[in-house]
Amino acid sequence: MDAVTQTIDAVAGLLAEGGVVVLSGAGLSTESGIPDYRGPSGVARRHTPMTFQAFTQDPVARRRYWARSHLGWRTIARAAPNDGHAAVARLQRGGLVDAVITQNVDGLHTAAGSTPVVELHGSLDAVVCLDCGDRTTREELDRRLRDANPGFSAEVSAVNPDGDVDLPDAQVSRFRPVDCAGCHTGMLKPDVVFFGETVPPARVATCFDLVRRARALLVLGSSLTVMSGRRFVIRAAKQGIPVAIVNQGPTRGDGYATVRVDAPLGVVLPELADRLAPRASLAAPRADAAVTRG
């Protein structure tokens, strides 16, 4: 029996009794065509990530963000859940996984039928006005941006997990953002947490409560580089809750792991679901999927 099989057996042993909370990262969505930042399929950024301060204070930076995101979001919107997302949903339907906390903003857990899902960093499919608080769908904003920018297009070679792409300044300069359709002057922002912005305290509290009540924490596709997700691993370890990490490449949480699997999620997760929730594979995704963003 090889080392990977042995560690998968160990993860299966942790999951078998249920009460599991999943913490997922960008590595889970790579097989859906969305590269991660740091894993084997990641694409290194050639520009600095957008910060909340730059977005709100610099009109040029805001224009650059919306031009790049307008193109990148189309790739995110076309992405479909992969076998890993489907396996997590099967484990939930089988009664083994109680909840999913995701650092991703692509909505693929919910599309696969998982519920409840806490979207720690928000979701790209919603837009909020920072002035009046009006919320709209990204589809609606996409229609408005298309109308305001007829013929605007570019060849997109790589899309980051937040829907951002690389785009020459010459193309950015001819892009026209739009204001809130409700109050007509308000600044629109995707309903995601930017660098320099904090996750809403109530959302963090919800995640800590899920971890506190969990029998085990299963980390999927996250390098845990950012404290935003790593804090839940640290909390679980301090409370004596077993932590299983499945990720290609090292993570900053490896020292807290009870079990560590370095293998593709698209291989490991379906195997776990086949072993532990075979009947759930025949069940349809639940229509009452719950997502927490507030």
Residues that constitute the known binding site for Zn(2+): 129, 132, 180, 183
Preceding omega of 116 cis (within 30 degrees of 0): yes
DSSP 8-state symbol, 40: T
**DSSP assignment of 83-146:** HHHHHHHHHHHTTSEEEEEE---S-HHHHHT--SEEETTEEEEEEEETTT--EEEHHHHHHHHH
Cα–Cα distance for residue pair 11/93, rounded to 1 Å: 18
Feature table: binding site for NAD(+): 103-106, 221-223, 247-249, 265
Report the length, in residues, of the chain: 294
The two tokens of residue 16 are 């078998």
How big, in percent rounded to 5, are the helix, strand and coil portions of the chain?
40, 15, 45
Feature table: binding site: 103-106, 129, 132, 180, 183, 221-223, 247-249, 265
Of residues 184, 76, 186, the one with CA closest to residue 139: 76
Look-up of token digits 């596709």:
221
The two tokens of residue 94 are 């089988």
**What residues are annotated to the active site?**
121
Q: Are 210 and 99 in contact (CB under 8 A)?
A: yes
